[in-house]
Amino acid sequence: MRRTIIAANWKMNNLTSEVINFFAEFGDAALNSENEVIIAPAYPYIPLASALSKNKNIEIAAQDVYPKAEGAFTGMVGGKMLADLGVKAVIIGHSERRRIFGEPNDLIREKVKFVQENGLHLIFCVGETLPERENGVMFDVLKEQIHSAFDDNLTLAPEKITIAYEPVWAIGTGVTATPEQAAEMHAFIRKIMKEKYGYEDSRILYGGSVKPENIQGLMANEDIDGALVGGASLKASSFMKLVNF
Ligand code: 13P
């Protein structure tokens, strides 16, 4: 049984007052949900979000990690800091990290390794751009992203390896993949995970303009195990609807 995950990626949004208001309004929404609820605030707000979500069935995640425990790495946040803050899950390889910050596959691979060595829940993002889809190479792109990150061997338990399929053309655009498009890609990822790595029970989330109006259609597919949500997760009123879709 794969338990559904509804995860919020707040990206570079939500200031102190907004975080406080979010949790005040969100209340016990996650306690009342049968789904696993994860929220990834920006680094400085992790302690506040952790304190406000205590005992509420919410796991606080980081949006990234630098793959070292600690040291002379100006501007970075490493493993010991995440452990110190009680963070148990990390998003790696988000398309904004890949494209805006030029994260290459070998750094992503190092991060995946580091997350595994530290026993954290890995939320690993993959997805093709619009030109890649239009050229029909989306399967090759996903295969390459997965292989280059995972070929050092996966060691974590299946429930700690989560893949997020986030087509770049659907992120923040309001254009959502149709349930059929998403299902096709999820089935492809599931096949790779099973046949190449022996992971049958890892969760595969869909991300890209998920909102209360379209979540049910997406979640109806058996290969879609949840959602990684950006814009529609910023306000409690909308995220509450998503966690209890
Ligand atoms: P949106 O939900 O804003 O499209 O963002 C998706 C995303 O990138 C989540 O990681």
What are 73-96's pLDDT values in tens digits?
999 999 999 999 999 999 999 999
Q: Name the active-site residue from 36, 94, 121, 128.
A: 94
Tell which one of 11, 126, 234, 242 to mutate to probe ligand 1, the residue whose CB is within 8 A of the most ligand atoms.
Answer: 11
- Backbone dihedral angles phi then psi of residue 123, each to the nearest 5 degrees: -115, 100
Q: Is the pLDDT of residue 238 over 80?
A: yes
Q: Is the CB of 230 under 6 A from ligand 1?
A: yes
Cβ-in-10-Å burial (0-12, 13-18, 19+) of 47 comes to middle
Residue 40 pLDDT exceeds 80 = yes
pLDDT tens-place string over residues 133-165: 999 999 999 999 999 999 878 999 999 999 999
Tell me if 172 CB under 6 Å of ligand 1: yes
Q: Name the 3-class secondary structure at 59.
A: strand
Q: Strands (DSSP E) along 110-244, which ranges?
A: 121-126, 161-165, 203-207, 226-229
pLDDT range class, residue 1, cuts 50, 70, 90: confident
- Contacts for 127 with CB less than 8 Å, ≥ 6 apart: 95, 141, 142, 145, 165, 166, 167, 168, 170, 171, 207, 208
Catalytic residue list contains 94: yes
Q: Which residues contact 159 (CB under 8 A, 6 or more apart)?
A: 3, 121, 201, 202, 203
Q: What's the whole-number average pLDDT of the chain?
A: 96
Alpha carbon nearest to ligand 1 atom 1, residue: 230
Predicted local distance difference test score (pLDDT) of residue 151: 82
Per-residue pLDDT at 26: 98
| Listed residue (123, 127, 153) closest to 139, CA to CA | 127
